[in-house]
Amino acid sequence: MLPYRRINESVLALGCHTGTHVDSRLHLREGKEGASSLPLENFYGKCRVFDLVHVEEEIHRQDLEGFRIDPGDIVLLKTRNSTLGYVKFLENYVHLKIDAAEYLVSAGVKTLGFDYLRVKKLEGDDEVHELLLNNMTLFEGLNLAGVHEGEYTFLGLPLLVDTEGVPARVILIKE
């Protein structure tokens, strides 16, 4: 008989939008698709990180126009949010405005990654979130502090649960 061995088992309780996570259309509209319906091809591929740390508050179309975006790209936006850390929720984070969201949609971005827990302004700009979720896969809460602008291979690994959002692990591989 084997000797008794003590094992450890933990319970993990967290919100679906805790830390790095992916949103689904169900987040904004009852009856829409949950996270398990997101296209698998949007979780992997060529990725471009854009350095926008100079942007003070709002990302507009003109802030993105100098960057190369090909249809089907995965784009990660690195802002001063990554330098602030995540000790507590900040209300003065850099966020995306509708003209920038429209530009990313028209460029054919398949997946967008953002370096804060929300991509839109705290109060208002709901159309930004809705436009993005209706046209691409959205990862929020990325920590890009140690990531340099450039091209990478992106691997986003969300939990396979059918909720409005789901925690994820994102890996960037420098080629």
28 belongs to a structural domain: yes
Q: For the domain that residue 47 is a member of, what is the CATH number?
A: 3.50.30.50
Has residue 28 got a pLDDT over 70? Answer: no
Looking at 6-65, which runs of residues are DSSP E strands?
21-23, 44-51, 58-59
7 belongs to a structural domain: no
33 belongs to a structural domain: yes
37 belongs to a structural domain: yes
64 belongs to a structural domain: yes
Q: What are the structure tokens assigned to 70, written together? A: 């090909």
pTM of the predicted model over 0.75: yes
pLDDT at 89: 82
Q: For residues 166-171, give the mean pLDDT.
A: 93
Domain count, the chain: 1
10 belongs to a structural domain: no
At residue 130's C-alpha, the angle toward residues 62 and 41, to 5°, is 85
pLDDT at 154: 97
60 belongs to a structural domain: yes
* CB-CB contact of 146 with 174 (8 Å): no
* pLDDT band at residue 31 under the 50/70/90 scheme: low
The predicted-structure confidence for 67-125, as pLDDT tens digits, reads as follows 999 999 999 999 999 988 777 788 889 999 999 999 999 999 999 999 998 998 888 88
pLDDT at 162: 84
103 belongs to a structural domain: yes
What's the domain range around 159?
Answer: 21-173
